Amino acid sequence: SQTIHQWPATLVQPVGSPLSLECTVEGTSNPNLYWYRQAAGRGLQLLFYSVGIGQISSEVPQNLSASRPQDRQFILSSKKLLLSDSGFYLCACPGHTNYGYTFGSGTRLTVV
Amino acid sequence: TQLLEQSPQFLSIQEGENLTVYCNSSSVFSSLQWYRQEPGEGPVLLVTVVTGGEVKKLKRLTFQFGDARKDSSLHITAAQPGDTGLYLCAQPGAGSYQLTFGKGTKLSVIP
């Protein structure tokens, strides 16, 4: 089964600073990859998804961007963070069975 | 975009009690997934239901898919503190590239 690694687990950044969150996947090849954001322990909002290297689709206009430089690597970035970028960021890919997704353990971002 | 409504938003019960949480939509689900998320972790898939009227059991958890595939419920028997968490339902999007999630039910089981 696949495993998703995310780092860092926790991040505190000042407003206006850049951001780079990394997600890597093991146990599968050429997966669809997704970035979700979750605010205050509630539902997940899809930010970006990628069906292959260099292919990024954005679901919500925002201060963030994503890139997929390698098959199993998905990066979430920002040039200048806003307070509203705070949240819990999750990377995911489809599982092998039951149509479900496998999620990473997430990055808690606090912008101060 | 099809919206998923989950109820209740919050639920606090004593250990040993039974509970039911719900996931509803105005449109038909192609399939529906239930996840549990613990604080500081990513959601973990519990079950996928596909067929109208389907019932699936996972130990003390019983999942039901409505006959018309527009609603689903999760029933927990004799809740344990380990059941505490955020319960999310989700369904595939129109393009099948992404999942759409409800806002979840936050369950607290008090010892």
Return mean pLDDT, chain A. Answer: 91
The per-residue pLDDT for B111 is 95
Q: In angstroms, rounded to a whole number, what is the distance separating the alpha carbons of residues A18 and B22?
A: 40
Q: What average pLDDT score do residues A21-43 get?
A: 88
pLDDT band at A95 (very low <50, low <70, confident <90, very high): confident
- Chain A, residues 7-46, CB within 8 A of chain B, namely 32, 34, 36, 41-44, 46
Domains parsed from chain A with CATH numbers: 3-111 (2.60.40.10)
The per-residue pLDDT for A39 is 86
From the list A41, A42, A105, which residue is nearest B42 (CB)?
Answer: A105
pLDDT band at A59 (very low <50, low <70, confident <90, very high): confident
What is the per-residue pLDDT across A66-94, written as a single tens digit (0 to 9) for each?
A: 999 999 999 999 999 999 999 999 999 98
The per-residue pLDDT for B90 is 93
Instruction: Evaluate if residue A24 carries a pLDDT over 90.
Output: yes
H helices, E strands: number in chain B: 0, 11
Residue spans per domain, chain B: 5-110
Q: Which of A107, A88, A62, A80 is nearest to A15 (CA)?
A: A80
Q: Where are the alpha helices (DSSP H) in chain A?
A: none
The per-residue pLDDT for A41 is 60
Domain range B5-110, its CATH number among 3.40.50.300, 3.40.50.970, 3.40.50.2000, 2.60.40.10: 2.60.40.10
From the list B45, B97, B101, which residue is nearest A43 (CB)?
Answer: B101
Q: Which of B101, B103, B111, B49 is nearest to B74 (CA)?
A: B49
pLDDT band at B93 (very low <50, low <70, confident <90, very high): confident
Instruction: Evaluate if residue A99 carries a pLDDT over 80.
Output: no
The per-residue pLDDT for B3 is 80
What residues of B are in contact with residue A50 (Cβ under 8 Å)?
Answer: none
Q: Which residue has the higher pLDDT, B95 or A20?
A: A20
Instruction: Evaluate if residue B98 carries a pLDDT over 80.
Output: no
The per-residue pLDDT for A40 is 76
Instruction: Evaluate if residue B96 carries a pLDDT over 90.
Output: no
pLDDT band at A60 (very low <50, low <70, confident <90, very high): confident
Check A105 against B92: CB less than 8 A apart.
Answer: no
